[in-house]
Amino acid sequence: MQDLIRPIDRYQIALNDRIIMAKSTLSFVCQNCGAAYNRWQGKCDSCGEWNTLSEEDTTGATSMPVSVRSKRKGRTFKLESLTGKTQDAPRLSSGMTELDRVTGGGFVRGSVLLVGGDPGIGKSTLLTQATSLMARAGHRVVYISGEEAVAQVRLRAERLGLADAPVQLAAETSVEDIVSTLSEGAVPRLIVIDSIQTMWTDTVESAPGTVTQVRASAQALIRFAKKTGAAIILVGHVTKDGQIAGPRVVEHMVDAVLSFEGEGSQHFRILRAMKNRFGPTDEIGVFEMTGLGLREVSNPSELFLSERDLGSPGTAVFAGIEGTRPVLVELQALVAPTTLGTPRRAVVGWDPSRLSMVLAVLEAHCGVKLSGYDVYLNVAGGLRIQEPAADLAAAAALVSSLVNAPLPTDAVYFGEISLSGAVRPVAQTSARLKEAAKLGFGRAVLPESARGEIGSDGGLSLNSVGGLTSLVAEIAARGTPRNAGNGNRDANAGTSEKNATPSRFRRENG
């Protein structure tokens, strides 16, 4: 009797395992943000997108029954000490100074980098040049393309003049085949996967590009990098908002996240480190797009200021810091009378929230009435500024455009504006002043409390301000009406702009 019951029990146990596994693995996953739901719905509650949920196996596990998996024992592995030595260099130079600057000095063995950027911005061009330089230096470099054929990659190399570089190419999308091929022979020093959205692994049952496939493929490649010591660069697509497509967990899995930025109408590109476990974050590398590929720009300040308008109202030079490098860039402001009920506020290259704050401080503490004017602010050259030290330069450019008062062409501005109207100090004041002096600037407008941090200013004339009121009064004193003396209409316009100047400043300046 026991012999008859045992097969039935075994069958029931196996059936229960399959039922439990089916219930635990089926889920509806948003293809935009990676949020998972138990049932299908039209709109994702996490990101707000419609029709992005698809049924997937979210666990990525094998079909092994639960009873068997619970009895599996883990294997032991060797533990290493912190004092271990390695014969290989801790970092591998890419041959491109700007790329090494962003990565923190080169590629670390066993590291995985995620590079994202808009379509056509030049990601493949950058990686083709980097792999070619490393291959010419004698390292084994492999370029795996999942979007282009080998012939297309060769055409790009010929256009860049890099066809003779001994880079190993392949057009493959299966992660298991890629890992098996790369495991043969010498371990590659650098592997480029273009792109991670095209990779797929047979451990999960999902289409390539889905959240589950991207996560599982990235995990398999990261495991290979940590085991062999090869550096891997994953190319990622971006969404319409500029975020890297796919699950957010991939950005946490990799060691560094690099963003390749730039405008299609501009001739230069910026490589920015959003995350870096082996170097500083917010570091940038500047490249110029030419007919022969990307050219490194060793002095980006000179590039950003090469075509600036000298002596025009509404322009101010900001001395900023991007990562560890000082960068000088021109801020352009335009304040024009509006015909709309609600004036426009347009910003390019800066945080719109900080512009709203600066406008509120100018109106509340300095008497600058901008409620009847459209305000436009632009960072020349397409650079995106994130630090609050640009507040003072933006305020100076806005007031200069309002009162038609050109700012000194040899002056730089930097400082953070508080809600009380005070100008607060910022970090790395000496580096900003040295960069300004190197480019021929003669004066600097900076926070008054930052004088104690100044080392060698390079002979600059320093104009320290404690509050925004004094700077606005100084600029307003030099203001002149636009088109004065060209008829009654122009005279009325000039009178209107004079009235826009704070009254207490006119009293202070006669």
- HSE-CB at 173 with a 13 A cutoff on CA atoms is 15
- The secondary structure of residue 196, as a DSSP letter, is G
CB 329 within 8 A of CB 337: no
Residue 384: predicted pLDDT: 87
**Calpha distance 372→369 (Å, rounded):** 7
Residue 151: predicted pLDDT: 94
List CB contacts of 396: < 8 A, sequence separation 6 or more.
316, 407, 413, 445, 471, 475
**Calpha distance 321→343 (Å, rounded):** 32
**Strand-strand pairing, 91-92 and 112-117:** unpaired
Residue 6: predicted pLDDT: 54
List CB contacts of 469: < 8 A, sequence separation 6 or more.
365, 366, 421
Amino acid at residue number 433: L
Cα 416 to Cα 69, 303, 354, 395, 450, distances in angstroms: 58, 25, 10, 10, 11
- The secondary structure of residue 484, as a DSSP letter, is T
Instruction: Provide the 10 A C-beta neighbour count for residue 459.
Output: 8
Residue 501: predicted pLDDT: 44
Rounded CA Rg of the chain: 29
Dihedral of alpha carbons 174, 177, 181, 183, sign = positive
**Strand-strand pairing, 461-465 and 168-171:** unpaired
Q: What domains sit in the chain, N to C, each tagged with a CATH number?
A: 91-298 (3.40.50.300), 303-508 (3.30.230.10)
Residue 301: predicted pLDDT: 86
Q: What is the reported pTM?
A: 0.73
- Residue 202 tokens, joined: 């047979």
> pLDDT tens per residue, the chain (510 residues)?
445 445 545 545 544 544 444 444 578 888 777 788 888 898 988 888 888 887 776 554 444 444 544 455 667 777 777 776 655 558 899 999 999 999 989 999 999 999 998 888 899 999 999 999 999 999 999 999 999 999 999 999 999 999 999 999 999 999 999 999 999 989 999 999 998 989 999 888 888 888 888 889 999 999 999 999 999 999 988 766 656 655 577 888 999 999 998 876 678 888 999 899 988 887 889 998 888 899 998 888 877 887 777 778 999 999 999 888 899 999 999 999 998 888 999 999 899 999 999 999 999 999 898 888 999 999 987 788 888 999 999 999 999 999 999 999 999 999 999 999 999 999 889 889 999 998 889 999 999 877 666 655 557 889 999 899 999 999 998 877 655 433 333 333 333 444 444 444 444 433
Residue 366: predicted pLDDT: 92
Strands (E) in 291-344, as ranges, are: 293-296, 315-322, 325-337
